Structure 1
Amino acid sequence: LHYVDWGNAEKPPLLLVHGGRDHSRSWDWVAADLRRDFHVIAPDLRGHGDSAWAVGSAYSMIDYVLDVAALLKALDLFPITMIAHSLGASVALQYAGVYPEHVDRLVAVEGLGPPPGLGKPASASARMAQWIREMQGLARRHPRRYASLLEAVTRMRDANPRLTADQALHLTRNGVFRDEDGTYAWKFDNFVRAVSPYLFNLEEAREIWGHITCPVLLVRGDESWAPDPAVDGRANAFRRAEIMTIEGAAHWVHHDQLEVFLRGVRRFLGVG
């Protein structure tokens, strides 16, 4: 498991956990700001960034939670403050519910469930068959190659048009590798694309969230697909949750409205 250590080991530890098909350097702007007050660690989840691919893995939630638990134990980063996005936020919330005594504060950016359309309201056997087809298809699929870094940057901006040119270049440069033939491809394992046949179980998630004892800041963008947790009731599962909705931001809140995001996070962490 690869991770970036921003130094200041004498400061309280802070773990930054990225989302799916992303990488640790996605947090660089946040880390650069918070490194004055924290010892910042940003891992690449398995199959992402510069971490190893887990050959034959289904890249399930429990795998990611296990990796985070192993990293924190190996580095002895307790108690830990966590800021996490999307898939990473789901991982962080599950970790905090299993090990509430290890987490001091937690900022979860849009991590309360999968996007619409991934619920798969089909029978268990149909979902399993679909997952097997997806895995077999991914085994035959070659990673897309880009003739130039600029071409990959264009694809990055297509995914999030709110990115500035500098943001898109930075995220792409750290998210691709250059092959021997001069083409570029994304670092993440294609198999992370497969959707688990096991549905997101909201009741079990709520049970885990209910064990979290630290303050939690639930962040969402007002232009995102993520529903308001105050409206759909998910916020009620937490003992000590605060909701921050940021205007002019979609799913990548910390990229779309960085300064607003940092102000809210600093206030919540008590380092404003």
Structure 2
Amino acid sequence: MSSTFLYGFHVPANGIRHHLLRYGGKGPKLLVVPGITSPAVTWGFVAETLAQHFDVHVLDVRGRGLSSSGPELDYGLDALATDVTAVLSALDWQEVTVLGHSMGARIAVRAAAHMPSRFGRLLLIDPPVGGPGRRPYPAPLAWYIDSIRLMAAGQPWEELKRFSPTWTEAQLRLRAQWLHTCDEKAIEEAWSGFHNDDVHANFASLTVPGLLMIAGRGGVILDEDAAEIARLAPGLKQVVATDAGHMIPWDDEAGFFRLLGQYLNLSFHPEGA
């Protein structure tokens, strides 16, 4: 199968440089906002398949990949959400489908709650639902920082096996190549935000419809969390990827696209699934 990748480019918005990768180029706009240590390129295999039906753009969240980085930047959730709405405004996109994974889903929820006119639909993939007074996020901060430091020191990709033992060699090699671009301050502030930022208020004010996909083996969203979100945001359809951990497309690519396709009423054909 030939690649649907077109090019990468930069957008100045919210006072910094944002890097995006474009796939497909046909169909309605879809923006992917990745998770805490996932530069845009690591979502390429998902974007390749999404591009069968969408004009897909994958964002390097600030402090990751080729977007602006550095100790002087604010990496809090409000800044990240403003980045997304500022990028959409700079590109003059309206009613965009936004797919966010993990941290990226939290960003999408807050951004859509603050500027719903730019969003047509949300595809939220296993967002952390912690916050003040809630249980801690199941992955410790050291899991992220230790792996970043190993790759920043040029250690071989095999060192990542103990962090992600179910991933393929190709997935680990790509992560090893790009993990060093994740700024430690950005990761620390995002992880702290999983515990300190209240996204439940954003769920309660959502007017944008969408999908909430829950990892059946992730331990991030429990049954009681799903029930609470259902009360707060009845416009989100909930589905469970029963055979996947938190990194759903990596654990069960076929299942991920099956659930996504059922919601979107589209048929996806991932090359590797």
Q: Tell me whether the two structures share a fold, i.e. TM-score over 0.5.
A: yes
Matches within 5 A, 1:172-187: 172-173=176-177, 175-176=178-179, 186-187=180-181
CA distance in 2, matches of 1:102, 1:146: 41
Aligned pair 1:161/2:165, yes or no?
A: yes
1:82 to 98, 117, 135: 98
Letter in 2 for 1:263: R
Instruction: Quote the Cα distance in structure 2 between the aligned partners of 1:197 and 1:84.
Output: 16
Query: Structure 2: how far apart are the matches of 1:198 and 1:248?
Result: 24
Residues 118, 214 of structure 1: alpha-carbon distance in 2 compared, 3 angstrom cutoff: closer
| C-alpha distance in structure 1 between counterparts of 2:265 and 2:59, whole Å | 24
TM-score (norm: length of structure 2): 0.77
- How far off is 1:143 after superposition? 4.3
Q: Does 1:4 align with 2:21?
A: yes
1:247 aligns with 2:242: yes
Distance 2:116 2:250 in 1: 29
Counterpart of 1:170?
174
CA shift, 1:98, in A, is: 1.4
1:21–1:192: 8 Å Cα contact kept in structure 2?
no
1:58/1:191 contact within 8 Å kept: no
- Cα distance change of structure 1 residues 82 and 168 upon mapping to structure 2, 3 Å threshold: same
Alpha-carbon distance between aligned partners in 2 of 1:197 and 1:49, rounded to the nearest angstrom: 20
Q: Indicate if the aligned counterparts of 2:85 and 2:118 stay in contact, CA closer than 8 A.
A: no
CA distance in 1 between partners of 2:128 and 2:110 (Å): 10
Determine the structure 2 residue equivalent to 1:207: 201
Where do 5+ consecutive residues of structure 1 fail to align?
A: 120-137, 177-185
The Cα shift of 1:58 comes to 4.1
Residue aligning to 2:136? 117
User: Cα–Cα, structure 1 residues 155 and 76, in superposed 2: closer, same or farther, change >3 Å?
Assistant: farther
Quote how far apart the aligned CAs of 1:31 are: 0.8
- The range that moved more, 261-270 or 230-239, is 230-239
2:75 is aligned to 59
Match of residue 91 from structure 1: 107
Letter in 1 for 2:220: A
SS in 2 for 1:108: strand
Residue deviations 1:184-227, cap 9 Å, x none?
Answer: xx11111123244895354xx33322332232211121111212
Distance 2:209 2:251 in 1: 24
In structure 1, distance between residues paired with 2:187 and 2:216: 26
Normalising by structure 1, report the TM-score: 0.78
CA shift at 1:36, angstroms?
2.1
Task: Return the alpha-carbon distance in structure 2 between the equivalents of residues 266 and 75 of structure 1.
Answer: 27
**The structure with more radius of gyration:** 1
Query: Aligned partners of 1:169 and 1:60: how far apart in 2?
Result: 29
Percent identity, please: 22
Aligned positions of 1:191-270 closer than 5 A: 191-195=185-189, 196=192, 200-202=196-198, 205-228=199-222, 231-270=226-265
CA-based RMSD of the aligned residues comes to 2.6
Output the amino acid matched with 1:5. Answer: R
